[in-house]
Structure 1
Amino acid sequence: MPSPGDVPARDYLVVSECYPPNSVGGAELSLASTLSASRVAADILVVNILGRAPQVTQHRVDGIPVIELPPQAKWPYHRLSEAERARIQAELPKPIGWLLFAFHALAYLLSGRLDRVVARFLMLATLPFRVRRNGPFAPFDTEDTGYWSLALRRILAASGASTVHGDNLLGILLTQAAGGAAARRVGVVRDNRFLCVRRDQQTRMGGKVCVACHAECHTGTRFADRRLRRIARHIGWMRRRALRGFDEVVVTSRYLERQIRSLGAMPPLTRIANPAGDASGRDTPAVPEWDGTNIFIVGQIHDNKGQEALVAWLPELIRRIPDVKLHFAGRGDAARDRMIAAAGAEAGRLRFHGYVSRDDIRALYQSCQIAALPTRWPEPFGRVPLEAGIERKPVIAFGVGGLPEQIVHGVTGLVVPAGDYAGFVDALAKLAADPSLRERLGAAAARHVAARYDRNETARAYEALWQSPVAVSDGSRTRRIASG
């Protein structure tokens, strides 16, 4: 547990699932960029839930102190850190260990108010499904008795924070579980993690995109499917209840606004777009473009991101753009091998750069002529249109999720109807054949990003929200106090 003497006093406590440098996800990068630009950065303390060290650690990112919590032990030892659990179990004979397991399980199930007991039995019912590849995420580790919640409660008391900012799913659930009635609470929903019972926010199963949770990610017996759907509904109810405990809820796009409103009555909603990042200080020479037509695709190589589906159209791409090459930046070794096999003799046109640091990715954007985003799932808010815009590159994307809000079709890029791969290839061929059109769209994208996704404006919006009086929701309107 963090020692109260090691917790600095701060007015604003930000609770995030991950935080740089231990995360390169778009949600966490957007949060870090916003906080580093804040005028009240000296009064901010960040708690990184998913730390990697076996004990509590503390460091600074852009001058902001960050407390990283160690991994929490699995249920029913979730009151302990994983390191504490491993040490205790290593010191005990196996029969005593099983008795200890049974004691912790019963203590968990039978403690608390009646509604908590019912909730805990329902969460226990998810265990058979959690061991499956497509099982749901049951929030044992966000219980008010869990190690993370207890640690966060101690940090909140020691810091004396007047405002707690819960960022994304775990940040929201743990902020609610930790309590602290005196603090103002702001919850931020940045992606589909809050809407999907799977922790990996798949939202896409069986070849179609889920618009509501029907547990379609699981296939089993009819009885098991019915039981899983009931469990999924209960998990969704728990998340909605957590969100309603906040004074303000922030969404990053109109798409997410619609999704959150579909959950029923909510606190006041505010729409604040994610920032593009720091575009200042880019005084290094631009990297010249590579010869031919080079298409840059950024993101983890995954079915949701659509890279494999696009490679299936490689023969048509080659017919339309004879000098085409596809460049991929992102992890995904298994998918990479499948894509190389699918390309056959043309595999040399696929270039895999693996994980690319945020500093190096600029050179790849500049070296390619076009940025492509073949995402098939409802991307709530994509960073690619912003990163490409900074580098004056046009983007082609499917019109899913929040992407049509970021790309002005025909002005800053091209938006293709969802799933229309023939249309996607047409759009790529159109830009490949017209350098002047690429230049015009890229220049407009740079102006658009600078005007609407400035990180300083985003930081001012959060400052205003943290410092404003608690609002009363009328259940229908959404404020927009930053671009997006």
Structure 2
Amino acid sequence: MSLPEDFTLLQVVPELDTGGAEQSTIDVAQAVVAAGGKALVATRGGRMAARLESDGGRLAQMPVQTKNPLVMLGNAARLVDLIRREKVSIVHARSRAPAFSALWAAKATHTPFIATYHGVYGAKSRLKRWYNAIMTRGDLVIANSDYTRDHVLAEHKIDPNKVVTIPRGVDLDRFNPNWVTPSRLAALREAWGIAPDDRRVKILLAGRLTRIKGHLTIVAAAAKLKAEGREDFLIIFAGDDQGRTGYREEVEQAIAEAGLSGQIKLVGHCDDIPAACVVCDLAILPTTVPESFGRAAVEPQVMGRPVIASAHGGTTETILDGKTGWLVPPGDVDAWARALARAIDAGPGELASMGALAANRSRQLYSAEAMCQATLAAYERVLDAHA
């Protein structure tokens, strides 16, 4: 898709560390640069900033993650200066706190404003609902799944024509089993302490160490399997605690008390998720609250791995129960133990067959290219409306 001449995009995201919103920011910036435009990202920074700049994007470092009203006003002034200096065409906010500064700056400079709802935000008070509604006060709202779109419409009662669904996308070049070399697999196995001849079924839970990701549900379910005499599985928890040391210690204690130190490994942050998917036989996403989309359920499918996930939120759209994976009641330890046992007993042939169907489907529906093209089309729509 061609962009208008001298098109400049400014995305505003709290940090560029890890996560779906951050990856989408990087993907869209790359697409804008590839289409001949300029891509700016206002952010506190993070480990993905180097990737942004290597792709041709530019970093505008400022404390946009703050919820301090005075600092937010300062950010708005900084963004106004940036928008005018760089002749920004569209401002795209990807989180609530920075959306306040970004919207103020966009209105002050008469620049079109778009926001992406990357999550389903709860609101138990009028004040919180007002705070969440900042994401709907621009020209267009992008929802990352139909589940999220339904929530936005029900919560904020806005014009349905103002809300479009654009599912998150996976980089199909990066997530390509053919590019995962034996040396990458060997390096990961060595880092994780997995012997080359380990024949256990390996199960990946990729995601930051936070309670809502459901690690404790899996520990309890694994304990049930071990109590039945099963030791034919190895579960990998791959993700940062991001300062949640108390929760990490709670998970470690639960593993130790259940005698599962040989069956569950906490391996920390993983930079090579494609290789992690190949090392493992299947993936799990046992979230206790609904994921608005759930990239961790799509990436393994793209790599040909079936996924077991909690039956709520966006995963009910991305997983075909019994065909590309299994959907399980969230937090139900017995149900999760049964699902894990069923997947382990399926054997390599059935897992491979499900994985092939998962790869074909997810590659068609959830590519980064499709997400970026739809996002650029949304930009074009908003620019045409302003023109």
Q: Pick the TM interval, shorter chain.
A: 0.7 to 0.9
2:364 match: 451
Question: What is the match of residue 348 of structure 1?
Answer: 262
**CA distance in structure 2 between the aligned counterparts of 1:391 and 1:180, rounded to whole angstroms:** 45
Q: Contact 1:46 / 1:64 at 8 angstroms: preserved in 2?
A: yes
Letter in 1 for 2:83: L
Higher relative helix content: 2
**Aligned residue identity for 1:165:** H
What SS class does the counterpart of residue 60 from structure 2 fall into? strand
* Residue type of the alignment partner of 1:31: T
Q: 1:277 to 1:69 in 2, by over 3 A?
A: same
Question: Partner of 2:97: helix, strand, or coil?
Answer: helix
How far is the alpha carbon of 1:455 from its aligned partner?
Answer: 1.3
Q: 1:290: how far off?
A: 4.2
Does structure 2 conserve the Cα–Cα contact (< 8 Å) formed by 1:373 and 1:396? yes
Structure 1 residue runs without a partner (length 5+):
1-8, 75-137, 197-212, 215-231, 473-484
Match of 2:201 among 276, 293, 299: 293
1:310-352, Cα deviation, whole Å (9 max, x unpaired): 2123221222743222111012343333233223333222211
Which residue identity is paired with 2:31? A
Which of 55, 60, 71 does residue 53 from structure 2 map onto? 60
Q: Tell me, in whole angstroms, the C-alpha distance in 2 between the residues paired with 1:71 and 1:457.
A: 28
| Aligned-pair CA distance for 1:305 | 0.8
User: SS of 2:235's equivalent?
Assistant: strand
* Bigger Rg, which one: 1
Distance 1:400 1:304 in 2: 13
CA-to-aligned-CA distance 1:167-211 (integer Å, 9 cap, x gap): 22234322212124532221111113xx24xxxxxxxxxxxxxxx
Query: For residue 162 of structure 1, what is the aligned residue in structure 2?
Result: 89
Q: TM-score, normalised by structure 2?
A: 0.82
Which residue does the alignment assign to 2:305? 393
Distance 1:262 1:71 in 2: 28
Match of 1:460 among 373, 384, 387: 373
Give CA-to-partner distance per residue, 1:90-118, whole Å, 9 cap, x none.
xxxxxxxxxxxxxxxxxxxxxxxxxxxxx
Matched, 1:322 2:231: yes
Distance 1:265 1:346, change over 3 A: closer
Structure 1 match to 2:165: 271
Aligned to 2:78: 151
Tell me the residue number matched to 2:127: 234
The structural deviation recorded for 1:238 is 4.1
- 2:212 partner amino acid: N
Q: Classify 1:171/1:61 alpha carbon distance in 2 versus 1 (closer, same or farther; 3 Å).
A: farther
Find 1:11's aligned residue among 8, 12, 15: 8
Alpha-carbon contact 2:96-2:131 (below 8 Å) kept: no
Question: 1:142 offset after TM fit, Å?
Answer: 7.0
Where in structure 2 are there 5+ consecutive unaligned residues? 1-5, 186-195
Q: Is the Cα contact below 8 Å between 1:16 and 1:46 reproduced in 2?
A: no
Count of residues paired in the alignment: 352
Give yes or no for contact 1:162–1:182 (8 Å, CA) kept in 2: no
Displacement after TM superposition at 1:65 (Å) = 1.6
Change (3 A) 1:40 1:367: closer
Q: Is contact 1:431–1:437 with CA below 8 Å preserved after alignment?
A: no
1:47-446 aligned within 5 A:
47-51=41-45, 60-70=53-63, 140=69, 143=72, 146-178=73-105, 179-180=107-108, 182-192=110-120, 195-196=121-122, 213-214=123-124, 232-240=125-133, 242-266=134-158, 268-279=162-173, 282-285=178-181, 287=185, 290-318=198-226, 319=228, 321-332=230-241, 333-343=245-255, 344=257, 345-357=259-271, 360-435=272-347, 436-446=349-359
Deviations 1:7-27 (A, max 9, x none): xx75322222223xxx11221
CA contact (8 A) 2:12 2:43 kept: yes
Return the offset for 1:245: 2.7
C-alpha contact 2:64 2:97 (8 A) present in aligned 1: no
- Name the CA shift for 1:446/1:289 in 2 (closer, same or farther; >3 Å): farther
Q: CA RMSD in A?
A: 2.7
Q: 1:416 to 1:141 in 2, by over 3 A?
A: farther
Q: How far apart in 1 are the matches of 2:324 and 2:229?
A: 23
Please give the TM-score of this superposition, normalised by the length of structure 1. Answer: 0.67
Corresponding letter in the other structure for 1:354 = G
Q: Give CA deviations for 1:356-409 in whole Å, capped at 9, x if unaligned.
A: 11xx22222211222111111111111112210122111001112211111111
Per the TM alignment, residue 463 of structure 1 is displaced from its structure 2 partner at its CA by 1.2
Identity of aligned residues (%): 23
